[in-house]
A and B are shown apart, each in its own frame.
Chain A
């Protein structure tokens, strides 16, 4: 048992932290307040290997392990949740899905173009009437000779409007629920594929969230990703990966709340002393530090199990559930510690609070995580 990061992982962490402090931290308020999407930053991230982290190098990725990927996501999210989510969705849901389920031709065709930071890959599952209940999705894909004809509407798709390629989950067997779903690759500008509404969100405002509309959208038969009617399993598997990753994102945002609170508590003077000398503040910060550490260990454990090719589904659900819940608490406490200054835009803690709420909802709500965990316990 060893709780120390390896020398290599420490170097990853250090380099990414330096990169984020220099390139991301200064623009994080603008990303939030102006819904600014920094395309240039993603190109730089591509050069660093951050846009195809776990994709093997032969497909243009960095080829790092899952624990290192979690370290990177924590560092990015510590400075900017919007960027953290964009990187997470692209790496796990987009590139990750294509790598895990794509044929050799599909991997070679798509991955090198999407691991360099020049383009984005998205995964479209959610629909107006299919959120947690993925099997209820209504988008259809019907085979007409050599083409899939897709009809339906997808909702809340991260980077959906800018993605060069989107993996669309659709019913290919209307008579079946989970066992009638397939994944189909749809490229941007395909006829019949339109971008609908862009969502105006509470937080993570610099990440793009789009509605996608498919009206007799035709794509070649070979755009089927993975096996026909087995897409549900691909989605569940990808969401397992995503859960650990959203856990890492939560840890990053919570760490931001902790670090900023600690600094503020040491500087802010009230009643003739730094507020960090008062027990009320000290205990809040002690709880935040303890919970951030515990959440990080859960995230690392789930990623470690995945690296070892051991079952990790329950551990991933635990990591996401706990990390997102404690992150919500930590950002709430941070605003309390900052007082009035915590409530205004001039300080970043109100952004952390708004950003982290999504972590309790996206890629499986806290309630869905509890279903996964309790099922595994035999309930």
Chain B
């Protein structure tokens, strides 16, 4: 089974301070972290792969070269390969442009069964990239997922959070899932041996040149 996880490196909003004079956010010196929603998504992705007992996980992000560290963390958490889409040409992308670029990366990877996303990122809070990515890929999407119950080659059963409880849904593959961690979620700390192994896993950097070629074929 081919699993893909899309993640984002974000400023640690717990560390962001407000300038008392200008009332704007002081971003300088704020540490970057793996978006906590995405950490939940990647942990679920790894769990599903382990339960099925086969398959591979590709983790993708679009961002500056520094976003590499968030991908390394995903590799340490159990992803098999990482793809960093990085080019100045992508700077300032809005959610549509980001989703479009990610969709091209996924098409470049080839066939897949499930795309995992965090429900939203803690910096922008738009929750748009996942749904837009599903649209670009032409696959169904389920959002607000807190639990993946059964997963096999043909279908999966999931818990979708609602305002007054949750729905149990079934979905056919391929599908995009946007995950929202339950309040009890405690992020896992990868063991040191896994961090060592992460360095040996494939790490690809794709820039806009590859993109232009793909774009011409696809658009």
Contact = CB atoms under 8 A, between A and B. Distances in A.
Contact of A10 (B69, B187, B192, B198): B69
Contacts of B199: 8
B191 A47 contact: yes
A47 B193 CA distance: 10
A38 interface: no
Interface stretch (A11-19, A242-250, A257-265, A280-288): A11-19
Nearest to A8: B199
B8 interface: no
| Interface SS majority for chain A | helix
A91 to B, nearest CB: 12
Interface in A45-64: 47-50, 53, 57, 62-64
B133 to A, nearest CB: 27
B18 to A, nearest CB: 15
B68 A15 contact: no
Nearest to A44: B189
B189 A11 contact: no
B91 interface: no
B36 to A, nearest CB: 11
B192 A12 contact: yes
Contacts of B186: 22
Given A62-B196, A63-B196, A64-B196, A11 B69 contact: yes
Nearest to A72: B192
Interface in B188-204: 189-193, 195-196, 198-199
Given A7-B68, A7-B69, A7-B72, A12 B191 contact: no
Contacts, number: 50
B10 interface: no
Contacts of A57: 193
A62 B73 contact: no
A62 B193 contact: yes
B201 to A, nearest CB: 12
B196 A15 contact: no
Secondary structure type dominating chain B contacts: helix
Contacts of B76: 11, 15
Nearest to A20: B189
Residue in A11, A49, A62, A63 with the greatest tally of chain B CB atoms within 10 Å: A11
Contact of B191 (A8, A14, A49): A49
Contacts of B73: 11, 14-15
Contacts of B189: 15-16, 18-19, 48
Contacts of A12: 192, 195
B193 A8 contact: no
B195 A63 contact: no
Contacts of A50: 192
B69 A62 contact: no
A19 B72 CA distance: 17
Interface in B60-82: 68-69, 72-73, 76
A48 B192 CA distance: 6
Given A15-B195, A62-B196, A64-B196, A8 B190 contact: no
